[in-house]
Structure 1
Amino acid sequence: MFRKIHLPGRFALLFSFIVWFLVVSQLLRVCFFIWQYDEVSWNIINLLRTLLTGLLFDIGAVTYICVPALLYYVLLPNRWIGSWVDKALVWFFTSLTIFILVFTFFAELTFWDEFKTRFNFIAVDYLIYTHEVVANINQSYPLPFLIGGVLIITAGILFLFYKRRAFTKTFTQTATLVQRAVLFFTAVLIAVLYTTFITNNSAEWSPNRYNSEISKNGVYSFFAAFRNNQMKYDEFYTSIDKNKAFTIVKDKLVGAESKFTGGGFSIHRNVTDSLPSSEKKNVVFILVESLSGSFMREFGNQQNITPFLDSLAQKSVFFENLYATGTRTVRGMEAVTLCIPPTPGQSIVKRPENANLYTVNSVFKSKGYDSNFFYGGDGYFDNMNAYFGGNGFNIYDRGRGSVLSDKIKTTRNNIDDSEVTFENAWGICDEDIFNKMLKVADQQYQDKLPFFNFVMTTSNHRPFSYPPEKIDVPSGTSREGAVKYTDFALRELFKKAKTKPWYKNTVFVIIADHCASSAGKDEIDVANYHIPAFIVNLPESDNQKISRQCSQIDLFPTLFSLMHWNYESDFFGKNVLGRAFEERSLMGTYRKLVLMKQEKVMILSDQKKQAFYTWNKKDNSLKPLPIEKNFLDETISWYQTADYLFTNKLLK
């Protein structure tokens, strides 16, 4: 009854490749299911939908991959089929493509281990900063064995294709013009349909985030993130009237100490203190890599990996209920320097037009401070040097060169080899960067300059390596070891700083950039945004534990209040200790924007979606709630106004 469909032998290798890709992609999906077996939904309908949705995206990915090869097969005249040129090109590019894809499948496993997600904008960034990433991979994994394994697997796949006569058919059989045209235009049509109608977000069908992520295809997700690294708020998110949005935000920022000086679409205000400011105190600010609150005994950890920080919590202004704005270092930098909610897409640190903004350094500069940014790696990474240099900081890093660019009028100082005792892929160890800061601070003191020194640490980062014999956990073995070394390095910093003549007049501020992990089964894993923060060496009378729920963006406004400073502000953050402070935290990913007030959580998503939950702190779960209109409007207002001010260059 049915006529047998004949597939041209010229395309046998291409068809074998497609089948191989689809099978391996589903096997990888099954691996992720088993990996997260206790958190995914194993409901038979959800399981089948995950696999079938995944197959849909696998077909799209393999179509894009195959279009260039198909174009070659279609255009090559029949008389050249099987020539040495044809064989060389087909063997080379087939081998290269399979090698890259096998490596990619392995990379997906390591990426999932680190981020519990398919490739996203982080992977795109990693493609840009190849030096750090390749060095990190080399130090974290046995790269020669990995590459060797990929080569062996690639050879095995090619041998399988060879044994199934895919190469033989490809080099000995021809295809008619009609067959070529039908296959080519079918592939182009599929590619156009995926490009036009099927977005990567379509895979996010499940309330269980793991099921949605497993539904995706890593290659497809990578290129989707590459295309959508920057997102305009009004195009992707629910908006309200701008006047209403600014009215709501101003109402949240108003207080007895604040007087707005700008009308309309502005939050510019003067902040005054009823008490006279103290002598200009030096400020050493330390942004600690991946310091989750859950690492501290203060928050229930029993591993004793932060003994110094736990002791510091008892003799500082310690924030017990503070949440990071994001999941990456540049988000933490954005939050503490601009005191702004996380706008969608890339962090402002990485965007164009991010120089000469009104940052916390603008406040320090207005009071005559000398400001420096210290980073143990090459500050080219994540655009850090351009951002900090463009906003008034002198740079100390391991990069080469004395200046950043003609447009950025600041000094870039190289950290010399003689100042380094240990270095890995991400930079010098925490002790070394602290020692460099101490050396510069000594000079600032001699020059009678009040200083604001901003230090970014690197040791608590994969490959988790640090100088040997400093702590009782071998270097390079675990995250816990890296955390304990960072704690040790901070203890050594304070031990040395206390011998300095400038110590008694110096405030130390310590906070995490983000947590060590951020992904869970829900849209937002709230517990994985909880971070510690300390303000140290103020008068003992100021020491206290702050239990109010707050955000990274509130840290510097609180510090300025404790120092009784009067200053101008374009900040969304507020003094947590003020009477008018309303508890809340603002957090997100590059696509999800969140307002949390106590246990209520509103999440804005692209495609103009929103969801409302109650958060159970005990089991870190989210339970859906009916949308509250006022809560939704407030959430929209924080993010819509922040995006508007930056986009329209009103934070300059």
Structure 2
Amino acid sequence: MQLSILKNRYSVLFSFIIVFLISSFLIRTGLLVASLVKTDLSFLAILKIYFTGTFFDLGVSFFIVVSYALYLLLLPQKWNNSKFNRIATYIWLFLVVLIFMFSFFAEITFWQEFESRFNFIAVDYLIYTYEVINNINESYPLPVLIGGILLLTSAVMYLFYKKKVFTNSFYSNTPFSRRLVISGLLIGLAVVYGFFVSNSLADGSQNRYQNELSKAGVYSFFAAFKNNELNYNDFYPLIEKKLAYQMIRKELSEQGSAYVKDGNSVRRKIDNGNSAYRPNVIMITVESLSAEFLGAFGSKSNLTPVLDSLAKENVLFTNMYATGTRTVRGMEALSLCVPPTPGSSIVRRPGNEKLTTVGHIFQQAGYNRTFFYGGDGYFDNMNQYFGSNGFDIVDRGKKIMVGESYTTKRTIITDDRVKFENAWGISDEDLYDAVIRGSDQYDKEGKPFYNFVMTTSNHRPFTYPAGKINIPSGSGRDGAIRYTDYTIGEFLKKAKTKPWFKNTVIIIVADHCASSAGKNEIDISKYHIPCIIVNLQSTPSKVIDQTCSQIDLYPTLFKLMGWNYESNLYGKNVLDPGYDSRIVLGTYQKLAYMKKDSLVILSPQQKIETYIYNRETNEQLPAKFPEPIIQQAISNYQTAYDLFKNSGLHW
């Protein structure tokens, strides 16, 4: 095959575009084959995937070559065959081929993890390079990977040499007028793509996999970066503001609650009986613990004997759903109890200090509050969020960052306290030992404590201390789940020997599921998580089967403990006689509200989708709903966004 389209100085540029398009075609085909059973393919669907995909691939290629096109335009003809131009061309080609080869590998591994083209998660991973590079190093044979990428890059360079692509470029004589047309066209097309071609053009199918395969990874990456925070009022459906607050206030009303003020507020007094029960509370937020992993939810793998035993003897939520697909979403839901706002989690946004969090309620009750994390809390802005909301910090940060300041103190878990560590942090055993030490200290001080604990072991690369369980470290998710379960059991054994345990409630809940990818853009079953409340004296054993979200955990716990408090939370006590099953969840752009089996999904461009959800088959069938159901969904997200942006969630 003759790679040079034109025997002029643009020979290298156009040949690169051809190689890039062929490589993108092969990657798309590979991902398509890997997802064949989930894609619901038809002939028209295949045409759409490849036609739309090639359209986006062209856009990416224009972005890549735009700087070189400008260089070729301005390079004087007398320098075209100079040593300078040869070296510059070789370096440019080598670097761009190396980068796109690496990006293709990254797309494959990202698809393995999330079954998606690059999205906000990829943007976040680029920012937090230390954890990601170490994660890749521990998950894949990095020397082989780098060697393979270099080999492929060298092969492309050799192909260009054999096909005389370089010769056609260096020995050509292309007039400036012609260069102006070619470079101007390429630069113009790049500008058109950058400003006028939305990544959402690929989202034309009801099948999520078809939409993702129609996209280009690099294009999706920059679209996600560009849309890091979405203004709800600009992009999502709205109702009249007064009506939105009337509807949400009605939804949040329950037995024993009274609003503190009228109008645009959800702040209310909750009267649960004024109990004297003031236990310590330790919440273990477990990384990526899907409900389907537990025997209590039907698993036959016997990976969670400790959790299954706890589920039988304590308070178990059987129908709780995570609000999102990332740890920071789980943290947001469990600490602030609000529906997910579009874009990044509030944990990662500016203006997130002094919020009316669950921690603030514990503070009002006289509790010490501490955030424990096995990794470096700089990641995902965790330390800033918890620290500026009154929590002490205990994490694995190597040092105090320059300019780092919080309203509370930070303690670093030192090397002598760590027996095992991987890219994401110390083992759960080491983290729980830190929690035990901290709890001992708080008990000596004579104040009740509330600990928010975030684990890391159930995360790729799935490595943990050897000899603890009968599944080898690093062998996959099953071993990480079994180790996670084992360490919870060991933590409880140690805690039971402490004088503070008798008056301590321990919550075990997931931050999100291990995978959110499914046939649908939002697959409800992929948000189903376990939640167990252990050692609750007032209610030692109970099954709570109401459908609810993470945001409902603490309002329900406070009811079980009989607390009176002021709430600015969107969560509800699910044991209230008037509770009507509902969940809130979403991705970075799509926001879902489900009441009983009626599912409303809100998207940018003021798009509204409505479905009937079948729990038995996990099917979402399009349906028409009465206007009040749609308005109720909108009222949750519109008011939550409004309150956060206008300091209504702050104290």
Range class of TM-score, shorter chain: over 0.9
Consecutive unaligned residues in structure 1, runs of 5 or more: none
Question: What TM-score results when the alignment is normalised by the length of structure 2?
Answer: 0.98
Stretch moving more, 187-196 or 77-86:
187-196
Match of 2:410 in 1: 412
Deviation, 1:404, is: 8.0
Q: Which residue of 1 aligns with 2:85?
A: 86
Q: Would the alpha carbon gap of residues 402 and 110 (structure 1) be closer, same or farther in structure 2, given more than 3 Å must change?
A: closer
State the aligned residue count.
647
1:272-297 CA distance string (max 9 Å, x none): 112x3133210001110000000011
Q: 1:389-415 deviations in whole A, cap 9, x for unaligned?
A: 010011111113457856522111110
Q: SS of 1:7's equivalent? A: coil
Alignment pair present for 1:577 and 2:575: yes
Which residue matches 1:561?
A: 559
What TM-score, normalized to structure 1?
Answer: 0.98
Map of 1:176 onto structure 2: 175
Q: Render the CA deviation track for 1:193-240: whole Å, top value 9, x for unaligned.
A: 222321001110111110000000001011111111000001110000
1:256 Cα deviation from its structure 2 partner? 2.4
Match for 1:575: what amino acid? N
Give the whole-Å Cα distance in 2 for the aligned partners of 1:97 and 1:6.
Answer: 19
Corresponding residue of 1:506: 504
Distance 2:399 2:210 in 1: 47
Tell me, in whole angstroms, the C-alpha distance in 2 between the residues paired with 1:315 and 1:437: 24
2:237 aligned with 1:267: no
Q: Deviations over 1:341-399 (max 9, x none)?
A: 00000000000010111100101111111111110110000000000001001111111
The equivalent position to 1:466 in structure 2, one of 464, 469, 472, is 464
Instruction: Tell me the secondary structure at the aligned position of residue 313 of structure 2.
Output: coil
How far 1:628 sits from its partner (Å)? Answer: 2.8
- What does residue 543 of structure 2 align with? 545
The SS at the match of 2:238 is: coil
> How far apart, in 2, do the equivalents of 1:417 and 1:312 lie?
32
Do the aligned partners of residues 6 and 624 (structure 1) sit closer, same or farther apart at CA in structure 2, a change above 3 Å counting?
closer
Match of 1:439 in 2: 437
2:322 to 312, 321, 324: 324
Which whole-Å CA distance do the structure 2 matches of 1:488 and 1:9 have between them? 66
1:143 corresponds to 2:145: no
Which stretch shifts more, 255-264 or 357-366? 255-264
Q: Residue 501 of structure 1 aligns to a residue in which SS?
A: coil
Structure 2 gap segments, 5+ residues each:
none
Separation (CA, whole Å) in 2 of partners of 1:526 and 1:171:
58
Indicate the residue corresponding to 1:254 in structure 2. Answer: 253
User: For residues 604-634 of structure 1, what are the alpha-carbon distances to aligned partners after superposition, in whole Å with 9 as ceiling and x for unaligned?
Assistant: 1111111111122233221111243111100
Aligned match of 2:532: 534
Aligned to 2:213: 214
Which residue pairs with 1:31 in the alignment? Answer: 30
Give the letter aligned to residue 443 of structure 2. Y
SS in 2 for 1:74: helix
Structure 1, 184-193 or 441-450: larger mean CA deviation: 184-193
Q: Please name the residue that 1:118 is paired with.
A: 117
Cα distance in 2 for partners of 1:214, 1:359 equals: 40
Q: Is the 8 A contact 2:5 2:15 kept in 1?
A: no
Deviation at 1:598, TM superposition (A): 2.3
Asked whether the equivalents of residues 401 and 412 of structure 1 are also in contact (C-alpha less than 8 Å), the reply is no
Bigger Cα displacement from structure 2, 447-456 vs 328-337: 447-456
2:487 alignment partner, SS class: helix
SS of residue paired to 1:38:
helix
Separation in 1, partners of 2:584, 2:277: 33
2: CA distance, partners of 1:629 / 1:159:
63
Query: Equivalent residue of 1:410, what SS?
Result: coil
Deviation string, structure 1 residues 73-99 (Cα, Å, up to 9, x no partner): 111101111211111111112101101
Task: Determine the structure 2 residue equivalent to 1:352.
Answer: 350
Q: Which secondary structure state, in structure 2, belongs to the residue aligned with residue 446 of structure 1? A: helix
**Partner Cα distance (1:479, 1:174) in 2:** 59
* Deviation per residue, 1:403-441 (Å, 9 max, x gap): 785652211111011111100000000011001100110
- Equivalent-residue separation in structure 2 for 1:165 and 1:406 (angstroms): 56
Q: Which residue of the partner structure matches residue 19 of structure 1? A: 18
SS for the counterpart of 1:314 is helix
Query: Residues 153 and 343 from structure 1, CA distance in 2 versus in 1: closer, same or farther, beyond 3 angstroms?
Result: same
The 1:270/1:103 distance shift into structure 2, 3 A limit, reads same
Give how far 1:192 is off: 2.5
Distance (Å, rounded) in 2 between the aligned partners of 1:384 and 1:238 = 31
Identity among equivalent positions (%) equals: 49
CA RMSD of aligned residues (A): 1.3
Distance in 1 between the 2:51 and 2:268 partners?
Answer: 54
CA, structure 1 residues 162+628, in 2 after alignment: closer, same or farther (shift >3 Å)?
farther
Alignment of 1:162-311 (within 5 A): 162-274=161-273, 276-311=274-309
1:594 aligns with 2:580: no
Residue 174 of structure 1 deviates from its aligned partner by: 2.4
Conserved 8 A contact 2:338-2:570: yes
Whether contact under 8 Å (1:325, 1:332) holds in the other structure is yes
Instruction: Name the SS for the 1:9 alignment partner.
Output: coil
CA contact (8 A) 1:385 1:404 kept: no
8 Å CA contact retained: 2:591, 2:602: yes
Q: Note closer, same or farther for the CA distance 1:542–1:253 as it changes in structure 2 (3 Å cut).
A: farther
Task: Tell me by how many angstroms 1:327 deviates.
Answer: 0.2
Deviations 1:547-574 (A, max 9, x none): 1000000001111111111111110001
Cα distance change of structure 1 residues 73 and 232 upon mapping to structure 2, 3 Å threshold = same
SS in 1 for 2:284: strand
Paired amino acid for 2:243: K
Task: Give the distance between the partners of 1:630 and 1:555, measured in 2 at CA.
Answer: 26
Where does residue 156 of structure 1 map in the other structure?
155
Q: Give yes or no for the alignment of 1:76 onto 2:75.
A: yes
Deviation, structure 1 residue 649:
1.4
The answer on whether the counterparts of 1:588 and 1:594 sit within 8 Å (CA) in structure 2 is yes
Question: Offset at 1:651?
Answer: 0.9
1:429 pairs with 2:427: yes
Question: Distance between the aligned counterparts of 2:619 and 2:31, measured in 1?
Answer: 21
Aligned residue for 2:631? 633
1:105-151 CA deviation, whole Å, 9 max, x = no partner? 01100000000100011100011000000000000111111001100
* Contact 1:41-1:47 at 8 Å conserved across structures: no
Query: Residue 312 of structure 2 aligns to a residue in which SS?
Result: coil
Query: How many Å separate the matches in 1 of 2:33 and 2:280?
Result: 52
Report the AA paired with residue 21 of structure 2. L
SS of residue matched to 2:10: helix
Inter-partner Cα distance in structure 2 for 1:100 and 1:150: 9
Q: Residue type matched to 1:44 in 2?
A: F
Q: Is the 8 A contact 2:462 2:477 kept in 1?
A: yes
Q: How far does the alpha carbon of each residue in 1:422-476 deviate from its partner, in whole angstroms, 9 at most, with x for none?
A: 0000000001100110011011111112100111000000000000111111000
Cα deviation, residue 19, structure 1: 0.2
Tell me how far apart the structure 2 counterparts of residues 68 and 403 of structure 1 sit (CA, whole Å): 37
Is the contact made by 2:320 and 2:547 (CA closer than 8 Å) also made in structure 1? yes
Q: Does the alignment pair 1:101 with 2:100?
A: yes
> Aligned pair in 2 of structure 1 residues 116, 6: CA closer, same or farther (>3 Å)?
closer
**Partners of 2:356 and 2:207 in 1: how far apart?**
40
Establish whether residue 624 from structure 1 lines up as the match of residue 634 from structure 2: no
Matching residue's letter, 1:69: Y
